Amino acid sequence: MGYVVGMPLEGAATEKDYQVRFGKNMMWQEEVRSPLLPAEWALQSGVQLTWPHEDTDWAPMLAEVERCFTDIAREVARRERLLIVHPRPEEVREKLTQAGVPMDNIRFQACDTNDTWARDHGAITMLDTDGPLLLDFTFNGWGLKFAADKDNRITRRLVEAGCLKGAYVNRLGFVLEGGSIESDGMGTLLTTSQCLLSPNRNGQMNRVEIEEYLRRTFHLQRVLWLDHGYLKGDDTDSHVDTLARFCDPETIAYVQCEDPADEHYEELSRMEKELQAFRTAEGKPYRLLPLPLPAPIVFEGERLPATYANFLILNDAVLYPTYAQPEKDARAAEMLCKAFPGRDIVGIDCRPLIKQHGSLHCVTMQYPAGVMR
């Protein structure tokens, strides 16, 4: 008997409710291999936010970005548990209370941090018949671009503090960020060669060796590599969560550029052709849902990496970034409604986040059922 992804939480819907509302493949996967790297749509126990403070790069615009984080916290806490990491969590508690955010679902943990990108310093969870496995990879500031010494210790601290339940697995011999991989929950991983083959991550390994490491570590059947696609201003070397995302085992939402004059047009068109050539494990073409590329947003003379692909899947909702571009924001929502029928599609203004070259998915990390206390 394989691990059943998602045991009912207190106050949560039942397994039958989820199967009726979302379809069996969307929330519960029975009789699967063990251990399993779940898809993001597997039932969650909660979400982590690593909150900005004055000692991060957010200092010049702290109030602005905290409003964005507050909006994210409000939407998550309405639906599931939220873990907030901050060196002085009482400061955050007071601000959220004043903002009217529901506090019953929020846990705080004191921890020193360099920055706020929980997607990349958070634990990557696998599910085994004996319980969750919390894999702690090295985060080195996206290939030694930024300091990450404090962020690289957060996962171990959260496990030691009892915030996360599961077996801690030391994988610090390998550099890997959560934003660089996408799992369909069925043994297929989607990633980008520009990121995973970066010489400042695991430069001692070639593509074949890295793929074998991923297969062995995550018990994969397949790795799908995107060799094209990028966003101007991106610090991550083309994280896949900025470009193309699994929405179910047969559906991929991806960034499409329709303007031949845009600098992204050629690379994103080549990425689109790669996606069209990919096949599911059953040999069928993927259902592809194009997300618009936001119109250029420039800050301090630099184009920012705005993308609608950086959405977060929750148990009954999808939070997606908006950029005050009504037509394109609405088109993105329309595509996500097609990808996630039955879920609320909730926009969050993420213009503050992209000033530091990330967006909504980048600052969050979801944990499957049974992980967050």
- Separation between Cα atoms, residue 337 and residue 73, nearest integer Å: 22
For residue 34, the model assigns a pLDDT of 73
For residue 10, the model assigns a pLDDT of 35
Which residue shows structure tokens 């967006």?
359
For 15-368, CATH number?
3.75.10.10
- 373 residues of the chain, pLDDT tens digit each: 222 233 333 333 444 444 445 454 444 444 445 799 999 999 999 999 999 999 999 999 999 999 999 999 999 999 999 999 999 999 999 999 999 999 999 999 999 999 999 999 999 999 999 999 999 999 999 999 999 999 999 999 999 999 999 999 999 999 999 999 999 999 999 999 999 999 999 999 999 999 999 999 999 999 999 999 999 999 999 999 999 999 999 999 999 999 999 999 999 999 999 999 999 999 999 999 999 999 999 999 999 999 999 999 999 999 999 999 999 999 999 999 999 999 999 999 999 999 999 999 999 999 999 999 8
Which residue shows structure tokens 């929405």?
247
3-class secondary structure per residue, the chain = CCCCCCCCCCCCCCHHHHHHHHCHHHHCCCCCCCCECCCCCCCEEEEEEECCCCCCCCHHHHHHHHHHHHHHHHHHHCCCEEEEEECCHHHHHHHHHHCCCCCCCEEEEECCCCCCCHHHHCCEEEEECCEEEEEEEECCHHHHCCCCCCHHHHHHHHHHCCCECCEEEEEEEEECCHHHEEECCCCEEEEEHHHHCCHHHHCCCCHHHHHHHHHHHHCCCEEEEECCCCCCCCCCCCCHHHCEEEEECCEEEEEECCCCCCCCHHHHHHHHHHHHHCECCCCCECEEEEEECCCCCEECCEECCCCCCCCEECCCEEEEEECCCHHHHHHHHHHHHHHCCCCEEEEEECHHHHCCCCCCHHHEEEEECCCEC
Cβ atoms of residues 154 and 111 within 8 Å: yes
Tokens read off for 256: 């499409």
Cβ atoms of residues 226 and 190 within 8 Å: yes
Say what the pTM is.
0.91
- Separation between Cα atoms, residue 28 and residue 38, nearest integer Å: 10
For residue 210, the model assigns a pLDDT of 98
For residue 373, the model assigns a pLDDT of 80
Q: Is 130 exposed, middle or buried (0-12, 13-18, 19+ CB in 10 A)?
A: exposed
- Other C-beta atoms within 10 Å of 160: how many? 10
Tokens read off for 78: 């309405």
For residue 33, the model assigns a pLDDT of 55
